């Protein structure tokens, strides 16, 4: 079982806060639309190159701290739908750094994944939304190929259905039909996740409406299940989701806790994520990789290990900023 975190490394993105004079390390440098219009693909290429170099730094930091599961940012290439790869002046060097990140991940045994944003809606009745979704997911598939990641759900591209539109059955029909329009490098990696609203999609909905029809795995989100259970217990839903994964690939689950655990404020949405996680995660005896969706990222992973995996944690370096030179 591996615990991972998403997109941002708090130590490396805020080095001064952790007593380091190192430069900021991040993979989500971007720009507003006006800046993109003014500076164009030359500036995109510059930022993307910095982002992919820093992806290598983050992987090395994760290895030093025995974190072998990482969700990559979907913002590595700013405004990626607005140009072709060959338009970027630094694309060949960018590919070198992406490939190197993949070699590091392979050498260290790290699992890299992504979770494209909620504007990706394969169930939408709007053809433009679906076309844009296919474009964005195709970009993710290309980036995974540049890194050299497997075309399997081990390196998953994770989405939600993101809409019912008054008819859940018809929406799921559109998801399955639009799935067939995706390129092979997306289809083979795509997974779908249960939702956090009662009107949306439970594990059971996704099992019968998606998995049974097109065979893509389901990611079980513990926190979401509390709000959209499909009349299943946590264990039943977890095990149904696990059953959709290929036998030779460790399933992924998502775990978070309500921010109300840390702030007794009823104006905070109960679905909002806490900075850290506190309860022991019950996997009911199953081997899974756990994406910790807590606001304090790798710090939350380290704190969880300290609270619940003391023997494992005691052999690791303390949580502070480290030299990340390659």
**Structural domain includes residue 325:** no
Of 83-92, 106-115, 271-280, least confident by mean pLDDT is 271-280
Cα distance from N-terminal residue to C-terminal residue, the chain: 28
Cα separation, 222 vs 257, in Å, equals 9
Q: What is the pLDDT of residue 268?
A: 72
pLDDT > 80? residue 64 = yes
Among candidate residues 221, 326, 195, 205, the one with its CA nearest the CA of residue 281: 221
CA distances from residue 6 to 66, 71, 179, 303 in whole angstroms, order as listed: 15, 5, 25, 15
**Structural domain includes residue 32:** yes
Number of domains in the chain: 1
Q: What is the pLDDT of residue 310?
A: 66
- The predicted model scores a pTM of 0.90
Strands 218-221 and 190-193 come out as parallel
Maximum mean pLDDT: which of 144-158, 257-271, 308-322: 144-158
CA 118 to chain centre: 12
Confidence band, pLDDT 50/70/90 cuts, at residue 17:
confident
Range of the domain at 155: 3-313
Report, as an integer, the average pLDDT of 109-116.
Answer: 97
pLDDT > 50? residue 319 = no
Report percent pLDDT > 90 for the chain: 81
Q: Which two tokens stand for residue 180?
A: 């067939």
Report, as an integer, the average pLDDT of 155-181.
Answer: 96
Ramachandran quadrant class, 220 (left: phi over 0; alpha: psi -120 to 50; beta: rest): beta
Report, as an integer, the average pLDDT of 157-175.
Answer: 95
**Structural domain includes residue 319:** no
Report, as an integer, the average pLDDT of 84-106.
Answer: 97
Handedness of CA 190, 193, 197, 202 (dihedral sign): positive
Confidence band, pLDDT 50/70/90 cuts, at residue 275:
confident
Report, as an integer, the average pLDDT of 222-248.
Answer: 96
In whole numbers, what is the pLDDT of the chain averaged over residues? 91
**Structural domain includes residue 324:** no
Q: What is the pLDDT of residue 18?
A: 72
Residue-wise burial string across 187-220, b where 16 or more C-beta atoms lie within 10 A, e elsewhere: bbbbbbbbbbeeebbbbbbbbebbbeeeebbbbb
Q: Which two tokens stand for residue 234?
A: 């946590």
Query: What CATH number is associated with residue 253?
Result: 3.20.20.150
Strands 157-159 and 252-255 come out as unpaired
**Structural domain includes residue 102:** yes
pLDDT > 70? residue 311 = no
**Structural domain includes residue 113:** yes
**Structural domain includes residue 323:** no
Q: What is the pLDDT of residue 322?
A: 31
Q: What is the pLDDT of residue 28?
A: 94
Contacts 24+ apart (CB under 8 A), 36-42: 36/78, 36/79, 36/82, 41/83, 41/87, 41/88, 41/89, 42/89
Q: What is the pLDDT of residue 278?
A: 87
pLDDT > 80? residue 120 = yes
8 A C-beta contact, residue 288 and residue 250: yes
Residue 299, classed as helix, strand or coil, is helix
Residue scoring higher pLDDT (37 or 259): 37
Q: What is the pLDDT of residue 326?
A: 36
**Structural domain includes residue 131:** yes
């Amino acid at each position: 079982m591996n615990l991972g975190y998403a997109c941002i490394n708090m130590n490396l993105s805020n080095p001064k806060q952790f007593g380091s004079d190192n430069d900021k390390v991040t993979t989500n440098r971007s720009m507003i639309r006006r800046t993109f219009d003014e500076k164009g693909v030359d500036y995109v290429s510059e930022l993307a190159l910095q982002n992919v170099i820093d992806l290598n730094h983050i992987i090395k930091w994760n290895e030093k701290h025995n974190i072998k599961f990482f969700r990559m940012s979907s913002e590595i290439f700013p405004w990626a739908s607005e140009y072709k790869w060959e338009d970027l002046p630094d694309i060949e060097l960018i590919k070198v750094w992406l490939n190197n990140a993949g070699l590091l991940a392979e050498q260290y045994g790290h699992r890299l994944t992504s979770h494209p944003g909620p504007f990706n809606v394969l169930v939408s009745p709007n053809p433009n939304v679906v076309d844009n979704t296919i474009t964005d997911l195709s970009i993710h598939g290309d980036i995974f190929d540049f890194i050299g990641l497997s075309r399997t759900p081990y390196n998953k591209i994770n989405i939600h259905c993101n809409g019912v539109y008054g008819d859940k059955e018809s929406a799921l029909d559109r998801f399955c039909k639009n799935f067939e329009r995706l390129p092979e490098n997306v289809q083979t990696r795509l997974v779908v996740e249960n939702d956090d609203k009662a009107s949306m999609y439970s594990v059971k909905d996704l099992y019968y409406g998606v998995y049974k029809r097109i065979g893509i795995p389901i990611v079980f989100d513990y926190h979401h299940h509390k709000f959209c259970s499909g009349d299943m217990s946590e264990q039943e839903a977890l095990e149904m989701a696990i059953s959709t994964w290929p036998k030779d690939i460790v399933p992924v689950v998502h775990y978070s806790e309500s921010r109300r655990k840390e702030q007794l404020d009823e104006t905070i949405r109960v679905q909002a994520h806490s900075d850290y996680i506190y309860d022991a995660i019950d996997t009911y005896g199953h081997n899974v990789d756990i994406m910790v969706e807590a606001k304090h990222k790798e710090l939350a992973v380290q704190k969880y290990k300290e609270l619940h995996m003391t023997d494992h944690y005691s052999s690791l370096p303390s949580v502070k900023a480290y030299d990340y030179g390659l």
